[in-house]
Structure 1
Amino acid sequence: MEPASLDAQLIDAAAAQGDTPAAGRVFLDSAGSSLPPSAVVDAVVGHLRREAEIGGYRAAAERRDDLEAGYGLLADFLGCAPDEVAFTDSATRSWLSLLDAIPLGPGDRVLTTEAEYGGNAIPLLRVADQAGFSVEPVPSGPDGSIDLDALRGALDERVRLVSLVHVPTNGGLVNPVAEVAAAAHGVGALVLLDACQSFGQLPLSLAGTGVDMITATGRKWLRGPRGTGVLAVRRDVLARLRPRLVDLRGAVWTGLREVELRADARVLELWEHSVADRLGLLAAVRYASDLGVDRIAASVGDRAARLRAGLAEVPGVTVRDIGAQRCGLVSFTVDGRSAEHVRDALADRDVTVTVSSLPSTRYDMTRRALPQVVRASPHYFVSHAQIDTAVGAVADL
C-alpha cells in the first residue's frame, strides 16, 4: 500500500479524542480495559437513570426490541448468523460455558498453544484432572507463533479440542487461525478461539476463520463496558455440545422432571444480566462498525509500530514482541527495573501501561525465561505525539 493511501485509511486521533474525554492523557492499556467513547458511556448511564425512574423490569421492557436487534448487530460484526451468537458477562464466562459444554473424557486429548492464557489454562487443567483427558501445548515456531508442522504432527483421532489464542496477552503476535482450524478439522477436532485481544482490533469472522467457537470481551479493543462478553458457535457445532449449567434463559422447564434446551447459542446465556452494560456493548459495536474494523486495525498497527520502533532505540530497553504478524500489543523490559517499577514510574507521568507476568502465560514466559514484561497497547485515539511522549518517559527512566 502506498504511504498516501495508508494515511487516508488511518483514523484521525484528534477526532477520536473528541469522543473520548480522558484520551488527553497518554493511555496505553486498551489491551487491559480501554477508554469507552462517549456514546458507550451515555448508553450505560442513560439506562441506569431510566431504571432508577421506573424500575429495572420496565426499563428493560422498553428496550426489548433494541436488545433483540443486538443479536443481528453482533452477528454482522462477527461474520455469522444471529442464532450463532450469545451475550455473557465476560470473556471468562463465555470460555467456561463452552468448555463445560464440550464432551471430554478419559483418553481424549486437548491441544493448546504456548501462548495459552492463564484464565483458560487454569480451568482447562482443572477439568482435565477431573475428567481424565490430557492437555498438551504445541511448541511455538521460530517466530513465536504456533508451529503448524508441530501441530499437524500432534493431531490424531483422539484430539477433541484445539484451544487457540488469537493474540496472546503478553506480546504482539497474531496466530494463524485459518491454518490451525483447517488442520484440526482434518481429524474432527473442534477449535475454540480466544479472541479477547483481537475482538474490536482486527477483522474477525466465524465463517472466515473456519473456527468452531469464538469467545471475547467488550472492555478491551472494542471499547465497551466492563462486565460484558460475547461468544459465537457455528450452528452445526451446537448439536455436538452438551451444556450442563443452564437456567431459565437457556432452557424451558417443561415437566416436573423435564427441561427443553434452546436450539441456538443463547442456550449458553444466563437470564440475569446488566441491561445497561449490554446496551453499552451494542453502542460500542455500532461505534466500531461505523469506523470500520479494517481502519481500526490499520490505525492501531500504525501506533504500535511507532511505539515499538521508538522503544527499540532507547538504550537499556528490549522489545519482547514476537510473531511474523504483529498487532497493537507492545511488550518490553527495561534493564535494572522491574516491570512494576516501570509501570508506576510512567503512571507518575500520566502514561498508563500495565504488567504481564509469568502466571498469565506460563508456557510462553517459561520458554522465553521472562518473569514479567511491561505491556503497552495504544488504540487509534492515541496520537503520534503521545507515542513519542511515552517513549521519552521510558528513556528518562
Structure 2
Amino acid sequence: MTESRFKSLIKAKNVVYITVKNKDYIRTRQLERILSENAASVRVYSSEKKTPLKRALNIRRRLGKISFEGVDVIVVGFLPQLILDKVIDIAFGDRAVDIAAGKRDSFKLQVVADMFLSLYDTVVWDRKLVRPGGLLARFCKELDRRTVEEADLVLTDTRADADYFAKEFEGEREKFEVLYLEAEIDCYDKKEAESTEVKRVLYFGTGLPLQGTDIVADAFRILISENNSVNVVHISDYLSENKKDICCEIKCIFIGSTKYMSKEQQSFITSGQVEYHEWLTEPELIEQIEKADICLAGHFKAEIDKADRTIPGKAFIYEALGKKMILADTTANREIFKPDDRHIFVRRGSGEALSECIRKSLV
C-alpha cells in the first residue's frame, strides 16, 4: 500500500491545525488524532461559533495571536477558503506574495488544505444561495481555485470530490489526496440492539438539501400509511413461501431539522406518527442509534450532484457501531462500501424506493 503523503508530510514535524469548525466535529477529531499520532507536536485552533461565517471571522480575528515560529506544517481545515489568505499572510510574512504567485520550492513551511467541501458548489448548486454565473458565484469559485493553487497538498474525503475539485478549479490531480472520514470508535460504546417485536428505523441529520430529508419523510409516510395503521408494516410479501404471513410493527425515528421539507412533510414528521427529536445531545443520539434496527445514511437527493460525490458522515458512525444501514447508490458511497447484509443500497430521489428498501431490510 502506498504511504499517505499527508502522514509523511507531518511525520515528526511541528504542526499547527486551524479549522473553521467546532472541536467536537467528526473531521476535527479525526485530524487531531492523526496529527497526535504522527507529528512531533500539534496545536489545534477551532471555533465554537454557530455558523461557518461567524467561525471564519472568529478564527481570522485570532490568527494574529498564533505563533508560527518553528512550525513545519500548517493544516487549514473544513473551509480553508475563508481563512487561508490571512494564514499565509501571517505565517509567511513578506514571502506571502511569492506564495500567491505559486513560488513554493524554497519554503520549508508546508500548507495542507483539508478541502472538506467546495464553497462554490455548496452555495451555488447545493444550497442555491446565489445565482450561477453571478458576481458572488464567481467570487466563491475564485476562493476555491486559490485554495487549490496555494496549498502544497489538498485533502478531500472522497475520490469523486478530488476529481471534481481538480477539474473545476484547475488543479493538478496529483496535488490531491483522499482521506476518508472515520468515526472515533473510542468515543462510542458499541452495543447490540435489543431484540424486540418493534423494529426501529432511524434517520438523523442537519437537514441540508443534499441529504434528502424530504425523501426520508416520504418513505416514512408510505410505511405508516400503506396499511392504514400507524407504525404497522406488512412484510409478508418478502417472506419465502414456507414462512407464515406476518406483519411487523415499526417505529420511525427522525432526528434533526425539517427545514427543507414541504409544509405537508413537516406536519407529518411532527404529527406524532413519527418519533421526532429536533435535537439530541451526542450521548442521547448514540443511544438512539444503538437501539435502531435499520439506520438511514443517504445522501438521498437526486437533483444535487454533490450528493453523488459525498459520503454522509453518519455512515461512518453507523459503521463504527456495527449498524445495518441503507445508503444511497452513489459514486462516493461505492468507493468504500460494498453491498452486503449490513450495507443496502437504494437509488436516490424516491421515497417509494426507500420505503420498499426498508421493508425488505426488515426481513
**Structure with greater Cα Rg:** 2
TM class by smaller structure: 0.3 to 0.5
TM-score by length of 1: 0.35
Alignment TM-score, normalising by the size of structure 2? 0.37
Structure showing greater relative contact order (alpha-carbon pairs closer than 8 Å, 6 or more residues apart): 1
